[in-house]
Structure 1
């Protein structure tokens, strides 16, 4: 799923999961037809499909109540209201046992995505906001500001917890957060609600790669900023050629001619938990993480350079002075602006 996926909202219902209450407030009927709300859902689902934190998951266990409910909804769409009420009840039970899980509106939707029916569960966590409030008094009205504790996220803000279930093959796409569960941070949606196993998300894979690469650099090239830039440029070039990071290509280009270092680097990344040879990376993530190199001097100067400038003597030059200091010359500048 992803890319230019078309999303059509077929059914919609909202259940209130407020941890301050003794039970969930389950809707007795589906949400009235509303083109603006449908568009709201469509936009968020498309954002979810493109999110770096989205991961693929699969139901586990011979008996799995959530999977059974999904199968019933797939077989009979009229079971949607009854099925989502039960799902909301299961979810609320988990919340009541784990106070760290935030209260939310649970927006459940039946979606047709590229011709395949999906069940969407969007957890709209509450946020504090402030609204005006008018109080009538004998002399007229008093306008005041009060705290609204059950406000939903603004339209432009991404949803932090959500589930998309393919009702044809029961594959799951999931974005979740860790909360305190029995004294330690854990994913409660996959472990307690869905009972599923998950692959690493693109965001998690990128985090592992970055940390493993940085640890390797510190171990072998602690203060060699030129080598740091070379590694980063090798990653950037790999993304250009593969729309992702090819670990073997990065090793070959960053440590050219040194087969021992290449092998050691690849093994280091694998031990960190990254088994894929190519890690898909969006251009946004590439620009944020690998296209530029920030360096800081002991004199307090910071320079943020595109990585492809390092080997271009027409752009920047690093000069090792006889006294052991380094001079940096930035060349061919036509304009300087304050940022």
Structure 2
């Protein structure tokens, strides 16, 4: 997966899309990228690009207004102000037709990276903030707290829907990267809606190296937990093998992996291969080494339902600090060694 590290904000425009209005409120000026505004936008871009739910996507083959508009800008045929207005109009039309999409500000950002120029689209859903009011009542000071329902997401908040679009060509590994988080609250108005991907962007999600690597880790853990419930010793063998393969190899062949882990136990090997295939794991996996490094930097163990252990990868693999001993009955002992200091929380 392309992990973008070099980001230079070039231009940004924000528009107001209010469901209570008949028309979108379109900005006639690009934002003044002073130090504070630049930092606000940059942090949102960085946070979204690092989000675990960021997906690769291709634009659909049929006529696509968002694709056409964005490509006009990225190819230098139109400016950010005109393009951002049209992007805002298209989302507002969708909001009015659907009737269940929350009001928002739409932030359009152009930025350069080590992978070229991108156009970012951020649906900035409003957050309820609170401010104080000061009044003079009968020569006395009265201070109250009132809600403010049009606050923009702070830089520590996660954006629910955004897209990063690049110049489209036939050699692309993807046309755009997308975050489209669904509201898990079934009482929410837009629960279960895929309008952002399907109707607005007009694209289809594809798996990248990180998605496939994550799926492999998740599926092997699920199989291990389900099939070796009362055998911690065998569980540990498989988990250690998974970590070793992910760290040392560039690709994984599921059949070869199963051969190495289960050796002569043909029935168990077949069971794992069938389960992995049913769960959508491909036969060959290109490992996302950046994600693996981050994933195993810190290991969390849930032990017998009532104990949690957080341990760094370095400590986990240091025989002088941590050791696993097999008892011969399927159980294991986890031994912390040479503890010089600890804090009770």
Considering the TM-score relative to the shorter chain, is it more than 0.5? yes
Q: Are 2:129 and 2:151, in contact at CA under 8 Å, matched by a contact in 1?
A: yes
Matches of 1:150 and 1:10 in 2, distance apart?
26
Q: Are 1:216 and 1:265, in contact at CA under 8 Å, matched by a contact in 2?
A: yes
What is the aligned counterpart of 1:293 among 270, 292, 301?
Answer: 301
Matches of 1:186 and 1:30 in 2, distance apart?
31
Any stretches of 5+ residues in structure 1 without a counterpart?
none
Matches of 1:19 and 1:198 in 2, distance apart?
28
Q: CA deviation at 1:166?
A: 0.7
What is the aligned counterpart of 2:293 among 271, 283, 287?
Answer: 283
Q: CA deviation at 1:43?
A: 3.0
Q: Are 2:301 and 2:308, in contact at CA under 8 Å, matched by a contact in 1?
A: no
What is the aligned counterpart of 1:221 among 216, 224, 228?
Answer: 228
Matched, 1:187 2:194: yes
Q: CA deviation at 1:125?
A: 1.8
Matches within 5 A, 1:4-153: 5-76=5-76, 78-98=78-98, 100-114=100-114, 116-153=116-153
Structure 1 residues 48-102: Cα deviation after superposition (integer angstroms, max 9, x where no partner): 3333222111111331111111122234464422222121122123233445543
What's the secondary structure of 2:296's corresponding residue?
helix
Other-structure match for 1:271: 278
Moved more, 31-40 or 259-268: 259-268
Matches of 1:63 and 1:182 in 2, distance apart?
29
Q: Are 1:294 and 1:305, in contact at CA under 8 Å, matched by a contact in 2?
A: no
Matches of 2:205 and 2:115 in 1, distance apart?
25
Matches of 1:16 and 1:306 in 2, distance apart?
46
Any stretches of 5+ residues in structure 2 without a counterpart?
none
Matched, 1:317 2:325: yes
Matched, 1:337 2:343: yes
The 3 A distance-change label for structure 1 pair 251 and 286 is farther
Matched, 1:175 2:179: yes
Q: CA deviation at 1:295?
A: 1.1
The 3 A distance-change label for structure 1 pair 255 and 320 is closer
Q: CA deviation at 1:172?
A: 0.7
Matches of 2:168 and 2:90 in 1, distance apart?
23
Matches within 5 A, 1:240-251: 240-242=247-249, 247=254, 250-251=257-258
Other-structure match for 1:156: 156
Q: CA deviation at 1:248?
A: 5.2
TM-score (norm 2): 0.79
Q: CA deviation at 1:126?
A: 1.4
The 3 A distance-change label for structure 1 pair 311 and 95 is same
Matches of 2:57 and 2:332 in 1, distance apart?
52
What's the secondary structure of 2:36's corresponding residue?
helix
TM-score (norm 1): 0.81
Matches of 1:127 and 1:182 in 2, distance apart?
16
Aligned residues: 332
Q: CA deviation at 1:318?
A: 4.9
Moved more, 168-177 or 11-20: 168-177
Q: Are 1:128 and 1:147, in contact at CA under 8 Å, matched by a contact in 2?
A: yes
Q: Are 1:108 and 1:120, in contact at CA under 8 Å, matched by a contact in 2?
A: yes
